[in-house]
Amino acid sequence: MKHIIKSIDPGSPLRSKIFAGDELVAINGHRIIDVLDYKFYSYEPQLVLELTTPEGKTKLVMLKKGVGGDAGLEFETYLMDRPRSCANNCVFCFVDQMPHGMRESLYFKDDDARLSFLMGCYITLTNLSPREIERIIDLRVSPVNVSVHTANPELRQRMLKNPRAGECMDIMRRFAHAGIKMNCQIVCCPGWNDGEELERSMSELYSLYPAVPSVAIVPVGLTKYRDGLDNLTPFTPEHAAETISQVTRFGERCLEETGERIFYCSDELYLTAGLELPDDEFYCGYPQLENGVGMLRLLNTEFCAALKVSDKADGVPFAIACGTAAAPTLEKLLCTAREKYDNIDGMVYPIYNDFFGRSVTVSGLITGGDLISQLCGRELGQRLLISANMLRREEMDFLDGMTLEQVSAALGVPLYPIAEDGGELCDAVLGLLPDVRLPEREGENTPYNRYNPPSHPRADHPRKET
């Protein structure tokens, strides 16, 4: 694939030497295959870039910059290559459990090592060719985030339905020997990779420490769209509690021997079991937040810290809409805030996920349609706070395609997406609302429009930039 330069940053020293339409061929004699090669070989302070002009002429351009400084080139695609799609057919795959008719991008299953390194995505390693394994080792690409699921090769082949799935631990051992760090996750499916199989997986992953510094154990997510798929059952409260006990015991052993807990259960398992989340110290710096490990505990800690230094609450009535899993935590936070400010007038509405099925309890999978159907006619006050994870960041639309403006109009109240940050949530509860910028919609002339739905008695309140 040709690496055509789309634009050059205005501040780049290359701006007068390289132009949009030029093709990057090599850096310091190393042929560039994709974004990993580009970032690795452009790290040095002195570069010789080989390019091909649109007319087919070869030119060499020299560049001096700071070590690790960005050369300032933007390409037609972020990866400088096509994204790698998943070659597996996992028994627990969430994409296979989605209804038809959603936006096309939601059905693309990526399994790309480059996205793992650059954006934190998890990969199964089944897509890696021998050359790519060697390149990760040679370039010291680290960390790599790995979806392990089980260390048993035969079981992993059955769960991922891929004959190469059993190579996972061998590849990980090679990475560990080369000093590559690997954060891991295990999607735990009752009757498949739990119990003794989970114990085996933890033992084998622990043998790779310190190359494997953290592992998240996450319960399988099941929607109502499972016709024709493998038979999976959700965690019961009893089984969730047993799994938490098993993982905690193993983690305590790791903590005693290495000073790191390594193995953590996600918040969802604690909520399913009806158990209190551990305290801050338990999470050893929160290495697995992206897998929902300790997210609610950190939210609580950040919220209380922000509340402690706050000086007032505006008293404007509001509502919070969230998944059923997070609702009890948010209700407790509101009660904590009211202990300091008795004029706080807010309510928490747990939203049942009728779109995917009520076994799906996280806030990030709530749709605009479910918000409208369950909140229409309810007392929402003068603003509705929702998790920013419900929306695509740039497009500001929900999974069912409804836009933020459409849901706001249907409910007759402005919606404010709040980041997964306890400080920002505290600010919003007290009346310091984030700016919300909407993308250009059809028929509008400006690229972004400040979100100003219904008149608001606190329109002159200072707003926090996001």
| Amino acid identity, position 119 | M
Residue from 203, 208, 90 nearest 144 by CA: 208
Per run of 10 residues, the mean pLDDT along the chain (length 466 residues) is: 89 87 94 88 92 94 88 86 85 91 80 74 92 90 94 98 96 97 97 98 98 98 93 96 98 97 97 96 95 96 97 96 96 97 97 95 95 97 96 90 94 95 97 87 49 39 30
Question: 422-430 and 295-309 are packed helices; what angle lies between their axes, rounded to 10 degrees?
Answer: 50
Q: Which fold has domain 5-75?
A: Pdz3 Domain (2.30.42)
Distances (CA, A) of 98 to 108, 220, 392: 12, 14, 17
Query: Smallest Cα–Cα separation from 95: which of 289, 226, 184, 218?
Result: 226
- Taking 3-state DSSP, the helix, strand and coil percentages for the chain, each rounded to the nearest 5, stand at 35, 20, 50
Strand pairing report for 23-27 and 30-31: antiparallel
What homologous superfamily is domain 95-292 in, according to CATH? pyruvate-formate lyase- activating enzyme (3.80.30.10)
* 93's tokens: 């795959």
In which residue are the tokens 């091909």 written? 52
**Quick one: pLDDT at residue 394?**
82
Report pLDDT for 443: 56
Contacts 24+ apart (CB under 8 A), 388-397: 388/417, 388/418, 388/419, 388/420, 389/363, 389/364, 389/420, 390/363, 390/364, 390/365, 390/366, 390/417, 391/417, 394/439, 395/439, 396/436, 396/438, 396/439, 397/368
Helix or strand or coil: residue 431?
A: coil
How far apart, in whole angstroms, are the C-alpha atoms of residue 415 and residue 451? Answer: 9
For the chain, domain boundaries: 5-75, 95-292, 297-450
CB 291: neighbour CB atoms within 10 A?
25
User: In whole angstroms, what is the distance from residue 244 CA to residue 266 CA?
Assistant: 9
> Exposed/middle/buried for 343, CB within 10 Å: 0-12, 13-18, 19+?
exposed
User: Nearest to residue 191, comparing CAs of 146, 241, 248, 239?
Assistant: 239
Contact 91, 230 (CB under 8 A): yes
